[in-house]
Amino acid sequence: MTTDTPLGITRGPGETPHEYTFISPDRTQTARGGEFVTYAAMIDGETQQILGRITGRRAVRLLPNGFLADPNVPPEAVAALIGYVGQDHDLFEIAVTILGYYDATLGDFINPRLPPRPGTPIYVAESDLLARVLSKRAVGQTGAALVGSLLSRPADEVPIAIDLRAITSTHLAIIASTGAGKSYLAGVLVEELMHPRNRAAVLIIDPHGEYNTLTQMQAGKEFAAPDGYRPRVDIIRPDDVKVRTSSLTLGDLRYLLPDLSERMHYVLGRAYNLAGRKYGEKWTLAQFRMAVREAEQEISGKKSPAEEAEALSQDDDYGTAGAVIWRVNSRLESSRIFNDFESLPLARLFHPGQCTVLQLNEVDGREQQVVVATLLRRLLQALMATEKRQVDQGDENYLPYPAFVLIEEAHNFAPASADLVSSQILKTILSEGRKFGVAVGLISQRPGRLDADVLSQCMTQFILRIVNPIDQNRVAESVESVGRDLLRELPALSKGQAIIAGAAVNTPVLCRVRQRLTEHGAEDVDAPARWVEWFETGREQQGKRDHALPAEHTRGRNKLLKT
Amino acid sequence: MFGKLIKSNAHTDYVCQVYGRGEVDSPPSPADYAFGTFVRIPLSVGHGQLVGVIYDTVLLNPEFGSLGPRLSPVSDLAVFSPDYLAEKVTLVGITAVGMLAPDGMPAHGVPPLAAQIDTLVERMDDDAVCAFHRTPAGGVQMGYAPLLLGLGSPLARHLLLHVVERLGHLFPAQVATLAVLRNELAWQAAIGPLGGGA
């Protein structure tokens, strides 16, 4: 983009000390919201380019409305009729928020805290400058994720590379309405995480089964490295998701078992502790049932174990223990996820250079939450134990590398309206995970239903189109790094356009998400095409029926005709 | 010729006294000095002509307000005090809206030169009005419109409306563009004073 000609001239300071306004005819329609502009200023004896972002645009001189009355008559013709011979009759006042000049040593912008003098020429920022200063990491560097390019410039002119180190320590959130492209963006991020320069250990919680296509990374030449590296993609189908019953916490059990009375809660708690004491860490469901009965005996103290056992053997619904056991059986014994011995090994789920997709699309909602809570808890415990050298190589809890977990439909795991088992562990990871190398990425289409604390602790935000006002307000409340001016853009963003803000970029940017290298797996069903297809198939079947010989039947037509 | 300049109130604001009965062979009819009529006023030799438009008419009667009795009948006054009868005159206000160069090239806006006292004022015919308003490209121009609107007279918009109407007849090819201006002026003149918005 050429920047030889000034875009406009500074009018004066704006509403706050770090804002200014300039006047421009904007012949080239450049001064759009989110565009970056610069002016030169002397800072400590050196000329610095002070970068600013356009936050508003207001017409200050326009032709009268009456001149626009006839669509067939250009308003300029009417202006010329009455003797106006000037050019650039439209003038705009452009509001700019000052970001400052980029200090490579600090890796951040330094705000001069002084608006430009009136009359200072304002230029469109050079693309080269933006490419250097907007992204925290250079494209191609380890830890850089090329997610797209600056929206206000031609495609690929100003690449936006986010800092994966910031994401994997301070978490991220991808927020968008349905169909705005959040899964697509997540796919781009995963591609970058699995690129040979990053080789991350990634787990995707996939409640809709839409990340299958990531397996293409294994064969993609873009992902192959000269040292033989190729990313591994492990899809874990719903049938293969296993959680060992004894890895459930008392909280998980209470959450899973429906309609527990106060006494049942008490019995369950006693039984849980008893099972741990008596059978060790890895108890079975049968042992847990025994523990429930024993807990009932301890509490009631009225029957001998023999009497109790006899009563229970005759009637499973006997007493509180019977009711608890009935609930345990109905929820856990019939479940294809919970079992006595098998749990998904952490080493299978998390490995550098491996992306594991945990598909939960046929799993009950509560079970999904418990599965996620259990996995995250195990992950955090393993990383803590490894960090504190409490486990060694060979131990199932040994995980000597950071891990990143991407959670789709995050509002189901940390809703604003309830405190679920998964909310608690998510909050723990969001506040303490960085110390041990576990980070999460939350993807949600309903930020209004996502816990505000959880959202506010994701320090990098990818915000795509959001139309719902409740969701917009939640984003405005929880996401401090995005200015109001950018949030105003939310309803107007198109598919694949995102606001990226927070720790992984130097300043909030409007980004055009790059094209995925793998196919997008979350395409909607083309219902009309499928209907037509069915009709065509149906007509064929109808044709076969019409030309088929009459079937022989004792009460059939042939028989009747004969009689 | 329908009169002569007798004074000016400003650089572009002239007062013309219309010839009365007995001053010229054929006195002008009211249609000759109607509201919105374009006139030309010769400048000194070699400087072309001023072009103006009549924006006001005043009937001057010095006797108005003199309530004292006059002994002589009107028929006698023509004999004994003819100058008294001549004092009853029609004055028209002319605002200069441009110039015609000696070669006929029109220029709209405030003319740099002023007319002289007693200069004769001539009504412009349709061809002359056309020539004054035609652009080199064959279009129509009214470059003096802001000047007229700036007069501050309540009649200014109506004057422009009158001019636009006339130009609409003279420049049929430009009627659409003129219509936009006419509609805007009509709205401002008719609805604006009653509180109509832009």
Instruction: Give the range among A162-176, A248-262, A497-511, B29-43 with minimum mean pLDDT.
Output: A248-262
Phi, psi (5° rounding) for residue B34?
Answer: -70, 165
Interchain pair B145, A82: CB under 8 A: yes
Quick one: chain B helix, strand, coil %, rounded to 5? 35, 25, 40
- What does the pLDDT read at residue A413? 92
d(CA B162, CA B147): 15
A474 and A114 Cβ atoms separated by less than 8 Å: no
d(CA A358, CA A206): 6
A236 and A342 Cβ atoms separated by less than 8 Å: no
User: What residues of B are in contact with residue A65 (Cβ under 8 Å)?
Assistant: 198
User: What residues of A are in contact with residue B188 (Cβ under 8 Å)?
Assistant: 66
Mutate to test the interface with A, among B144, B159, B175, B181 (most CBs of A within 10 A): B181
Cβ-based neighbours of A374, under 8 Å, separated by 6 or more: A243, A247, A248, A252
Task: Quick: pLDDT tens for A3-33.
Answer: 678 999 999 998 888 899 999 999 888 898 8
d(CA A412, CA A394): 35
Instruction: Give the range among A29-33, A247-251, A548-552, B101-105 with minimum mean pLDDT.
Output: A548-552
Instruction: Give the range among A200-204, A327-331, A372-376, A540-544 with minimum mean pLDDT.
Output: A540-544
DSSP A353: T
Through-space distance between the first and last CA atoms of chain A, rounded to whole angstroms: 92
User: What residues of B are in contact with residue A73 (Cβ under 8 Å)?
Assistant: 176-177, 179-180
Mean pLDDT value across chain A: 86
Instruction: Look up residue A46 and give its amino acid.
Output: E
Read off the pLDDT band of A448 (50, 70, 90): confident
- What does the pLDDT read at residue A557? 53
Q: Establish if B137 touches chain A: CB-CB under 8 angstroms.
A: no
User: What residues of B are in contact with residue A80 (Cβ under 8 Å)?
Assistant: 139, 141
Q: Which residue has the higher pLDDT, A179 or B170?
A: B170
Q: Which residue has the higher pLDDT, A238 or A558?
A: A238
A21 and A54 Cβ atoms separated by less than 8 Å: no
The sign of the torsion formed by the CA atoms of A82, A86, A88, A91 equals negative
Please provide the size of chain A in residues: 563
Q: Is the pLDDT of residue A560 over 90?
A: no
Quick one: chain A helix, strand, coil %, rounded to 5? 40, 20, 40
Degrees (nearest 5) of the Cα angle A161, A163, A169?
A: 155
Q: Establish if B145 touches chain A: CB-CB under 8 angstroms.
A: yes
Q: How many CA atoms lie within 13 A of A289 on its CB side?
A: 19
Phi, psi (5° rounding) for residue A367?
Answer: -65, -40
The sign of the torsion formed by the CA atoms of A320, A325, A330, A331 equals positive
B142 and B163 Cβ atoms separated by less than 8 Å: yes
Read off the pLDDT band of B82 (50, 70, 90): low
- What does the pLDDT read at residue A10? 96
d(CA A283, CA A281): 6
Residue of B nearest to A70 (CA): B180
- What does the pLDDT read at residue A563? 42
Count of CB pairs separated by less than 8 Å, A with B: 51
Q: Is the pLDDT of residue A320 over 80?
A: no
Closest CA–CA distance from residue A70 to any residue of chain B (Å): 7
Task: Quick: pLDDT tens for A132-169.
Answer: 999 888 888 899 999 999 998 998 899 999 999 999 88
User: What residues of A are in contact with residue B173 (Cβ under 8 Å)?
Assistant: none
Return the closest-CA partner of residue A37 out of A105, A88, A95: A95
Closest CA–CA distance from residue B130 to any residue of chain A (Å): 14
- What does the pLDDT read at residue B102? 93
Instruction: Look up residue B63 and give its amino acid.
Output: E
B52 and B95 Cβ atoms separated by less than 8 Å: yes
Q: Dihedral of the CA atoms A416, A421, A422, A424 (nearest 10)?
A: 70
User: What residues of B are in contact with residue A81 (Cβ under 8 Å)?
Assistant: 139-142, 145, 174, 177-178, 181
Q: Is the pLDDT of residue A260 over 90?
A: no
User: CB B33: neighbour CB atoms within 10 A?
Assistant: 22
Continuous segment of H or E residues that includes residue B83: helix B82-86
Residue ranges of B 93-122 with Cβ closer than 8 A to chain A: 108-109
**The two structure tokens encoding residue A139:** 């494209």
A404 and A441 Cβ atoms separated by less than 8 Å: yes
A14 and A95 Cβ atoms separated by less than 8 Å: yes
Mutate to test the interface with B, among A63, A81, A84, A85 (most CBs of B within 10 A): A81
User: What residues of B are in contact with residue A64 (Cβ under 8 Å)?
Assistant: 184, 198
A171 and A459 Cβ atoms separated by less than 8 Å: yes
The sign of the torsion formed by the CA atoms of B145, B147, B149, B155 equals negative
Residue of A nearest to B175 (CA): A73
Query: How large is the greatest C-alpha to C-alpha distance in chain B, in angstroms?
Result: 65
Task: Quick: pLDDT tens for B51-61.
Answer: 999 999 999 88
What's the whole-number mean pLDDT along residues A295-304? 71
Closest CA–CA distance from residue A74 to any residue of chain B (Å): 8
User: What residues of B are in contact with residue A83 (Cβ under 8 Å)?
Assistant: 108-109, 141-146
Residue of A nearest to B176 (CA): A73
Phi, psi (5° rounding) for residue B154?
Answer: -65, -15
Return the closest-CA partner of residue A378 out of A409, A340, A405, A414: A405
Q: Is the pLDDT of residue A551 over 80?
A: no
Instruction: Give the range among A91-100, A330-339, A538-547 with minimum mean pLDDT.
Output: A538-547
- What does the pLDDT read at residue A526? 78
Strands A201-206 and A354-359: parallel
What's the whole-number mean pLDDT along residues A498-509? 91
d(CA B148, CA A328): 93
Distances (CA, A) of A341 to A196, A246, A248, A255, A326: 36, 9, 13, 21, 21
Nearest to A66 among B174, B177, B187 (CB): B187
- What does the pLDDT read at residue B4? 95
Q: Is the pLDDT of residue A562 over 50?
A: no
- What does the pLDDT read at residue A265? 87
User: What residues of A are in contact with residue B174 (Cβ under 8 Å)?
Assistant: 81
Task: Quick: pLDDT tens for B115-162.
Answer: 999 999 999 999 999 999 999 989 999 999 999 988 778 889 999 999
Residue A307 in 3-state DSSP?
A: helix
Return the closest-CA partner of residue A107 out of A506, A520, A545: A506
Instruction: Look up residue A244 and give its amino acid.
Output: R
Closest CA–CA distance from residue B194 to any residue of chain A (Å): 17
Q: Establish if B170 touches chain A: CB-CB under 8 angstroms.
A: no
Please provide the size of chain B in residues: 198
DSSP A114: S
Interchain pair B143, A78: CB under 8 A: no
Interchain pair B108, A83: CB under 8 A: yes
Orientation angle between helical segments A285-300 and A305-314, nearest 10 degrees: 120
- What does the pLDDT read at residue A471? 83
A242 and A337 Cβ atoms separated by less than 8 Å: yes
What is the share, in percent, of chain A residues with pLDDT greater than 70?
92
Read off the pLDDT band of A540 (50, 70, 90): low
Q: Is the pLDDT of residue A316 over 70?
A: no
B55 and B94 Cβ atoms separated by less than 8 Å: yes
Enter the ipTM.
0.81
Closest CA–CA distance from residue A62 to any residue of chain B (Å): 13
What's the whole-number mean pLDDT along residues A90-97? 93
Residue with tokens 């945990």: A358
Interchain pair A64, B184: CB under 8 A: yes
Q: Where are the beta strands (DSSP E) in B46-162?
A: 49-60, 89-100, 106-108, 120-123
B111 and B143 Cβ atoms separated by less than 8 Å: no
Q: Is the pLDDT of residue A318 over 60?
A: no
Orientation angle between helical segments A421-436 and A365-387, nearest 10 degrees: 20
User: What residues of A are in contact with residue B141 (Cβ under 8 Å)?
Assistant: 80-81, 83
